[in-house]
Amino acid sequence: MPKPVKIKKPKSFMFTTKHHSFAGVMGVMMCLISIIVMAGGIYMSFVHSGKSNVIMGAEGLFAMILDFLGIIAGLTSLSERDIHRWVPIVSIVANSIVLALWIALVMLGKTV
């Protein structure tokens, strides 16, 4: 019976340090700013009995642009190497949800 062949294991290790992607973190921050603007707009609309002005529309447009930029930042940060992948994914999902909420809010405002 022949002697079994030993499988050699590699003796070198590559240690990497994963970090949070700057663009992914910025995407999450853009989402948080958009949520704060949405909450403020809803509160101001409640205080003024549903009557809104141009400034509130500009807030909504600003927040939608922030959400769109947050989605782009999350998508571009996914291509970086040695990063924690959950930060850009959270950025993409959260910004998409908030953008959908903004679009729904605008569409409901047009029908009322």
Whether 25 and 92 have beta carbons less than 8 Å apart is answered as: no
Residues 21-80 have pLDDT tens digits of 899 999 999 999 999 999 998 888 888 887 777 888 888 899 999 999 999 999 999 998
Q: Please say if the pLDDT value at position 14 is more than 70.
A: no
Q: Please say if the pLDDT value at position 97 is more than 80.
A: yes
Torsion 49-54-56-60 (CA) sign:
positive
| pLDDT range class, residue 1, cuts 50, 70, 90 | low
Q: Please say if the pLDDT value at position 109 is more than 80.
A: no
DSSP 39-66: HHHHHHHHHTTT---HHHHHHHHHHHHH
pLDDT of residue 46: 86
Q: Please say if the pLDDT value at position 112 is more than 70.
A: no
pLDDT of residue 8: 72
Residue 15 or 101, more confident: 101
